[in-house]
Chain A
Amino acid sequence: MASYIVRRLLGLIPTLFVITVIVFLLMHAMPGNAFMALVYNPKVKDPAALIARLEAQNGLNQPLYIQYFDWLRNVFQGNLGMSQSLNEPVSQAIGQALPNTLLLAVTAEVIILLVSIPIGVLQANRANKGFDITTSFIAVLFYSIPGFVFALILLLFFSFKWNILPSTGTVTPGVSYSGSLGDHIIHLVLPAMALALPSLAYYTRLTRGNTLQVIVADFVRTAKAKGLRTPRILFRHVLRNAIIPLVTQFGFDIGGLFGGAIILEEIFTWPGMGELSINATLSHDYPLILGSTLVFAVTVLIGNLIADILLAVSDPRIRYD
């Protein structure tokens, strides 16, 4: 198992190399850099000289391939460079943003799994009866509404109208309970819900479908013949099988959920990777663009790896080698 993971991780390196090269080239294909706006000021006596100095300081006057390999060499030394728009190390900026995005994505994932799986299984168990029809209708409704619309609806009621949950950030500033666990949780509720709801509907449908396929299997009849009660049959025998395609999908979706978090971060002013990378792109902050791209690429690839590992763990018939 360990060697399998190590092998897979090593296999990511060429992919990451290609991704960074492509991003690097695309990035430099966009004319203009982070310093253009800074010197767009009639009071700066010699803007050209200031730009030249800032470009030289940041190595932007070097040929592209040298810039790339400089960046690469630094990455291997654990140095992602200095952000040109934030005046701080890229690793520090990402270090502040990434945990927030991870917290949001993981919370949403937990909500998705905890809610959609039981509902999906119960729907399948009562297929085409009242519970199944109503919840399926709601699920399809949720699935067809994009996350940002949810975000706005949730905000409208919970924050703007009733003012029971905050609309922005991860903590309340300037109060005695600032940064406490409860403070974090009330800030997490709305964005995590908005991120989870559409996927929740999707995963409910997926669970329902998989369960319907499994529920007619011979081993379910065996389980019944053993006198097992329905919950044990559904949530141990059936779910344990129905969950296999689900976890695979789940691993692949980690990257997607990460991407979905980005849009919602903008709405909820959630200081995560979304805000960071959007600002990086808007300000043409090359080191920050590369750094955050690297993080995204690694997340997607690790998501795929997790999908494979989860599949291997959840299905004993699959071997690691």
Chain B
Amino acid sequence: MSTPLLEVRNLKTHFISRTSRVRAVDGVDFSVERGKVLGIVGESGSGKSMTSLSIMRLVPGPQGQIVDGEILLDGKNLLKLTEREMTNIRGNQIGMIFQEPMTALNPVLKIGEQIGEVLTRHRGMNKAEAKKHAVELLKNVGFPRAEQIVNEYPHQLSGGMRQRAMIAMAMACQPTLLIADEPTTALDVTIQAQVLDLMRELKNRTGTAIILITHDLGVIAEMADDMVVMYGGQVVESGSADSVFEEPLHPYTRALLESIPVIDEERERLTAIPGTVPSAANFPEGCRFADRCSLVESSCREKMPELRELRKGHSVRCTLAV
């Protein structure tokens, strides 16, 4: 078995101020295989977005700091690189797209420039070449009028179009890894499907691995090869998407699966998980899900459960799971 494209080991990203320490990412391990899609799922505040920003080393400073761990891209530890070396990785070997394409795109620069500057930066193209190439990239993500679009501004595009443009931008240098942070959350349902189709198609065409971050298990089910469930800054369950969906081992994963609206049934049903994610500044001693867990036992609150591989390639952080 070849080495994974990306390996994240014991990643800890904390927000440290004079009075508090917020453990946003608190010892996360996972790996992404070449050409595969890893889904990271979790509620807001679970640390999944901060994990992705940590991989890019874009954790907002000065409070946000990666305090421990390793991020190995092709065996190279990104945390050991200088900032200047890191800028050569970003946009080049790792592309990233964000949740809200309206704010993620610069409102006063033309689409063509925003795509083209990645190419001038990493591929050494001049402006004219970059613009020409941007047209190609836009065509690749399904723009029929790509020649005009390069001269338009983000506000002139629809939400789906903007996200396509974002994808074109992130894919411009054919990165080996694409991080997609909630890429469809802000979009209409029909558009969501189109965008996901596009990502899948690009993955198949270019062999780019994808980290797909979402709170929508439906999206994971549709896209992911492997998945990681995050809660309270930790991985609570990981494994292949098939095995996790088939046999969710963690009570939280099960609760998440139950909360998916099932549209084809007669009545829509949404079981929200009672309670809220605990504050990352003040985690409880033992299992961080204990307060919301329907199966909680006193032992759960005493000691932090280990992540145990219960099935082949399928691990869970719960003492009760068997």
Asked if A227 meets B108 with Cβ closer than 8 Å, knowing A218-B100, A232-B117, the reply is no
Q: Mark B85-97, 1 if CB is under 8 A from A, else 0.
A: 0011111100110
CB of A8 within 8 A of chain B? no
Q: Mark B137-170, 1 if CB is under 8 A from A, else 0.
A: 0000000000000000101000000000010011
Query: Is the CB–CB distance between A228 and B87 below 8 Å?
Result: yes
A227: B residues at CB distance < 8 A: 87-92, 118, 121-122
Query: Is the CB–CB distance between A225 and B90 below 8 Å?
Result: yes
Query: Is the CB–CB distance between B121 and A226 below 8 Å?
Result: yes
> Given the complex of chains A and B, what is the CA–CA distance between A116 and B103 in angstroms?
27
Query: Is the CB–CB distance between A228 and B91 below 8 Å?
Result: yes
> Given the complex of chains A and B, what is the CA–CA distance between A219 and B169 in angstroms?
13
> Given the complex of chains A and B, what is the CA–CA distance between A232 and B106 in angstroms?
13
Query: Is the CB–CB distance between B108 and A225 below 8 Å?
Result: no
Query: Is the CB–CB distance between B155 and A317 below 8 Å?
Result: yes
B95: A residues at CB distance < 8 A: 225
CB of A161 within 8 A of chain B? no
Query: Is the CB–CB distance between B106 and A225 below 8 Å?
Result: no
Query: Is the CB–CB distance between A219 and B153 below 8 Å?
Result: no
Q: Closest CB-CB distance, A280 to chain B, in whole Å?
A: 44
> Given the complex of chains A and B, what is the CA–CA distance between A240 and B91 in angstroms?
21
Q: Closest CB-CB distance, A269 to chain B, in whole Å?
A: 44
B100: A residues at CB distance < 8 A: 218
Asked if A316 meets B103 with Cβ closer than 8 Å, knowing A226-B117, A228-B121, the reply is no
Q: Closest CB-CB distance, B183 to chain A, in whole Å?
A: 13
Query: Is the CB–CB distance between B106 and A240 below 8 Å?
Result: yes
CB of B109 within 8 A of chain A? yes
> Given the complex of chains A and B, what is the CA–CA distance between A223 and B58 in angstroms?
11
B166: A residues at CB distance < 8 A: 222
Query: Is the CB–CB distance between A226 and B90 below 8 Å?
Result: yes
Asked if A219 meets B104 with Cβ closer than 8 Å, knowing A227-B118, A232-B117, the reply is yes
Asked if A241 meets B90 with Cβ closer than 8 Å, knowing A218-B98, A221-B98, A226-B118, the reply is no
A220's nearest neighbour on chain B, judged by CB, is: B106
B87: A residues at CB distance < 8 A: 227-229
Q: Mark B52-78, 1 if CB is under 8 A from A, else 0.
A: 000010100000000000000000000
> Given the complex of chains A and B, what is the CA–CA distance between A29 and B121 in angstroms?
67
A238's nearest neighbour on chain B, judged by CB, is: B106
CB of A224 within 8 A of chain B? yes
Q: Closest CB-CB distance, B164 to chain A, in whole Å?
A: 15
Asked if A236 meets B88 with Cβ closer than 8 Å, knowing A225-B96, A227-B118, A317-B155, the reply is no
B153's nearest neighbour on chain A, judged by CB, is: A316
A228's nearest neighbour on chain B, judged by CB, is: B121
Q: Closest CB-CB distance, A236 to chain B, in whole Å?
A: 7
Asked if A219 meets B58 with Cβ closer than 8 Å, knowing A229-B87, A317-B153, the reply is no
> Given the complex of chains A and B, what is the CA–CA distance between A315 and B87 in angstroms?
29
CB of A6 within 8 A of chain B? no
> Given the complex of chains A and B, what is the CA–CA distance between A225 and B60 in angstroms?
12
Query: Is the CB–CB distance between A224 and B106 below 8 Å?
Result: no
Query: Is the CB–CB distance between A236 and B98 below 8 Å?
Result: no
> Given the complex of chains A and B, what is the CA–CA distance between A314 and B107 in angstroms?
11
CB of A2 within 8 A of chain B? no
Q: Mark A202-238, 1 if CB is under 8 A from B, else 0.
A: 0000000000000001110111111111001000110
CB of A305 within 8 A of chain B? no
B109: A residues at CB distance < 8 A: 236-237, 240
Q: Closest CB-CB distance, B131 to chain A, in whole Å?
A: 15
Q: Closest CB-CB distance, B200 to chain A, in whole Å?
A: 22
Q: Closest 5 CB pairs between A and B?
A: A227-B91, A227-B90, A226-B91, A218-B103, A225-B96
A-B contact pairs, 22 of them (CB 8 A): A218-B98, A218-B100, A218-B104, A221-B58, A222-B96, A222-B98, A222-B106, A223-B106, A224-B56, A225-B91, A225-B96, A226-B90, A226-B117, A227-B88, A227-B90, A229-B87, A229-B121, A232-B117, A236-B109, A240-B109, A314-B108, A317-B153
